[in-house]
């Protein structure tokens, strides 16, 4: 626990709030219940502040600042709903949705699209997109980079923030930047250990269990018919908590809660994918 932390007072949308030293503006916003859109931010990953959808207006700053990574300083005055902020948030959502398929993003993301009045089609027909075929090169998960918003989360989860496997990185640059293994080598020949932690953090459905991908292709994926059963992984003594997503009496995917003290949302290949034996029916 350590020493109690000092409190820092800042003002957000003319409301005062005290948060502990070292908190971010985003922490303070959440404290006040100010809904702040985020895409590349996740509580269990280092902030990379690349999506820029969380930007806020900070008094005295020339440009907008990312709420997810900017640390609070005493006396900061922040606006989260000014015209400048709304404009940038809208443009970020529009630019992204005009270049990648965001249809599988959460309802929360769709809500932000509506709230900021994002109309991705207004850049016109025929603008460049990331459209490309889905990469299916193994039995466990697929990669659909036409849905990738380049939030860096999967790279972080594969690297020092969780798995330390470093099987993927950001390659290329500019509009052509993309997530890739070395030389775009298929996953089975890469360093990938199939922990699936990249799937766990992906906000757009670009990374997906193959079971889910196949069911979606067949039209049988139906979340309204799914239940979630919490259990503890049986494979070793660590005690990872599993959430088994079950549809029609079959496990269709496995997750772990981000705020779980043992996993922080991360699993290994066995916990994530080792469920086939459960539903192996005697033929």
Binds another protein by CB under 8 A, chosen from 95, 104, 134, 251: 95
Binds another protein by CB under 8 A, chosen from 24, 98, 204, 247: 98
String marking each residue 18-57 x if it binds another protein according to CB under 8 A? -------------------------------xxxxx-x--
Stretch that binds another protein, among 14-22, 82-90, 137-145, 263-271 (CB under 8 A): 82-90
Question: In terms of DSSP H, where are the helices of 100-148?
Answer: 107-115
Binds another protein by CB under 8 A, chosen from 79, 123, 226, 270: 123
Q: By C-beta, is 163 or 255 nearer to another protein?
A: 163
How far apart (Å, rounded) are the C-alpha atoms in residues 192 and 201?
A: 16
Whether the CB-CB separation of 249 and 225 falls below 8 Å is answered with no
Check binding of 96 to another protein (CB under 8 A): yes
Binds another protein by CB under 8 A, chosen from 9, 117, 172, 234: 172
For every residue of 164-223, DSSP letters joined together read: -----EEES-GGG-EEESGGG--GGGSS-----HHHHH-SSSSEEEHHHHHHHHHT---G
Q: By C-beta, is 169 or 234 nearer to another protein?
A: 169
Whether the CB-CB separation of 132 and 146 falls below 8 Å is answered with yes
Q: By C-beta, is 108 or 121 nearer to another protein?
A: 121
Check binding of 221 to another protein (CB under 8 A): no
Binds another protein by CB under 8 A, chosen from 168, 207, 252, 268: 168
Question: Rounded to a whole number, what is the distance in angstroms from the first to the last CA of the chain?
Answer: 54
Query: 26 to each of 19, 53, 123, 272, how far by Cα in Å?
Result: 11, 12, 30, 31
Beta carbon of residue 180, minimum distance to another protein (angstroms, whole number): 7
Question: In terms of DSSP H, where are the helices of the chain?
Answer: 25-31, 83-99, 107-115, 153-158, 197-201, 210-218, 269-273
Q: By C-beta, is 190 or 264 nearer to another protein?
A: 190
Whether the CB-CB separation of 56 and 80 falls below 8 Å is answered with yes
Binds another protein by CB under 8 A, chosen from 21, 35, 59, 182: 182
Q: Where on the chain is the footprint of another protein (CB under 8 A)?
A: 49-53, 55, 63-64, 66, 69-70, 84, 87-88, 91-92, 95-96, 98-99, 122-124, 127-128, 149-150, 164-177, 180-183, 185, 189-191
């Amino acid at each position: 626990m350590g020493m109690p932390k000092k409190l820092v007072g800042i003002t957000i949308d003319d409301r005062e709030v005290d948060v502990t030293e070292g908190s971010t503006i985003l922490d303070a916003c959440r404290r006040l219940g100010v809904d702040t859109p985020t895409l590349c931010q996740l509580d269990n990953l280092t902030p990379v502040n690349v999506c820029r959808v969380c930007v806020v207006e900070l008094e005295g700053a020339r440009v907008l600042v990312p709420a997810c990574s900017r640390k609070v300083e005493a006396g900061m005055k922040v606006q989260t709903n000014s015209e400048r902020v709304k404009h940038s948030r809208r443009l970020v959502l529009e630019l992204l949705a005009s270049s990648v398929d965001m249809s599988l993003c959460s309802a929360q993301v769709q809500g932000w699209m509506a709230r900021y009045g994002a109309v991705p089609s207004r850049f016109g027909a025929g603008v460049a997109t990331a459209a490309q075929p889905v990469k299916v090169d193994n039995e466990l998960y697929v990669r659909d980079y036409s849905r990738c918003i380049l939030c860096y989360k999967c790279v972080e989860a594969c690297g020092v923030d969780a798995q330390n496997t470093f099987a993927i990185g950001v390659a290329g640059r500019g509009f052509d930047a993309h997530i890739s293994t070395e030389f775009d080598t298929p996953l089975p020949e890469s360093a990938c250990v199939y922990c699936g932690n990249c799937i766990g953090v992906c906000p757009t459905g670009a990374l997906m269990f193959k079971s889910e991908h196949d069911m979606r292709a067949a039209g049988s994926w139906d979340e309204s018919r799914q239940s979630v059963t919490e259990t503890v992984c049986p494979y070793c003594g660590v005690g990872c908590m599993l959430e088994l997503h079950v549809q029609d009496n079959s496990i269709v995917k496995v997750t772990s809660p981000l705020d779980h003290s043992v996993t922080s949302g991360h699993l290994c290949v066995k916990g994530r994918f080792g469920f086939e034996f459960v539903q192996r029916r005697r033929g």
